[in-house]
Amino acid sequence: MSTSLILIILLIVGAGAYGLAASRAVRMSGGKLSALHSRPGYYGAYAAIWAILPAALVLAVWLVASPMIVERTVRGGFPDDVKSMPVAEQNLAYGMINAIARGLPMLSAEDTAALSSGSVDVRAKLAEKGVPLAGDVQPYMLEAARTLNAETGTSRLAMTAVVALLALGGAAIALRSVAPRFRARNRVERVILWALVAASSIAILTTVGIVLSMLTEAAHFFREIPPLEFFFGTVWDPRFAGAGSTSAGQFGLIPLLAGTLYIGFVAMLVAVPVGLFAAIYMAEYASPKVRSLAKPLLEVLAGIPTIVYGFFALITVGPFLRDLSMQVNGLLTGNYVNFIQAQSVLTAGIVMGIMLIPYVSSLSDDIITAVPKALRDGSLGLGATRSETIKKVVLPAALPGIVGALLMTASRAIGETMIVVLAAGVAARMQINPFEPMTTVTVKIVAQLTGDLEFTSPQTLVAFALGITLFAITLCLNIYALYIVRKYREQYE
Q: Which residues bind another protein (CB under 8 A)?
A: 287-288, 372, 374-385, 388, 392-393, 396-397, 491
Query: Angle formed by the axes of helices 458-490 and 254-280, to 10°?
Result: 30
Compute the least distance from the CB of residue 384 to another protein, in Å: 5
Compute the least distance from the CB of residue 403 to another protein, in Å: 15
Nearer to another protein, 127 or 382 (CB): 382
Round to whole Å and give the CA distance between 223 and 239: 18
Q: Where are the alpha helices (DSSP H) in 129-253?
A: 139-177, 184-224, 227-232
Nearer to another protein, 72 or 487 (CB): 487
Nearer to another protein, 368 or 423 (CB): 368
Compute the least distance from the CB of residue 282 to another protein, in Å: 15
Compute the least distance from the CB of residue 368 to another protein, in Å: 14
Nearer to another protein, 136 or 377 (CB): 377
Compute the least distance from the CB of residue 408 to another protein, in Å: 22
Nearer to another protein, 223 or 489 (CB): 489
Nearer to another protein, 2 or 287 (CB): 287
Nearer to another protein, 336 or 492 (CB): 492
Closest CA to 59 of 8, 121, 110, 109: 8
Cβ within 8 Å of residue 376, ≥6 positions away: 389, 393, 394
Compute the least distance from the CB of residue 341 to another protein, in Å: 47
**251 φ, ψ to 5°?**
-120, 70
Round to whole Å and give the CA distance between 15 and 8: 10
Compute the least distance from the CB of residue 287 to another protein, in Å: 8
Nearer to another protein, 148 or 485 (CB): 485
Nearer to another protein, 153 or 372 (CB): 372
Compute the least distance from the CB of residue 396 to another protein, in Å: 7
Compute the least distance from the CB of residue 366 to another protein, in Å: 18
What CA dihedral angle connects 352, 354, 359 and 364, to 10 degrees?
130
Measure CA of the first residue to CA of the last residue in the chain; give whole Å: 59
Nearer to another protein, 294 or 449 (CB): 294
Compute the least distance from the CB of residue 290 to another protein, in Å: 12
Round to whole Å and give the CA distance between 316 and 113: 69
Nearer to another protein, 364 or 459 (CB): 364
Cβ within 8 Å of residue 335, ≥6 positions away: 329
Round to whole Å and give the CA distance between 177 and 189: 17
**250 φ, ψ to 5°?**
-115, 135
Compute the least distance from the CB of residue 375 to another protein, in Å: 6
Round to whole Å and give the CA distance between 475 and 408: 10
Give one word for 383, left, alpha or beta, with left for phi > 0 and alpha for psi -120 to 50: left
Nearer to another protein, 330 or 372 (CB): 372
Burial class (CB in 10 A: 0-12, 13-18, 19+), 193: exposed
Compute the least distance from the CB of residue 288 to another protein, in Å: 7
135-142 own/partner pairs: CB under 8 Å, 24+ apart? 135/92, 135/96, 137/96, 137/100, 138/93, 140/78, 140/79, 140/82, 141/93, 141/96, 141/97, 141/100, 142/100, 142/115
Round to whole Å and give the CA distance between 416 and 317: 18
The SS3 of residue 237 is strand
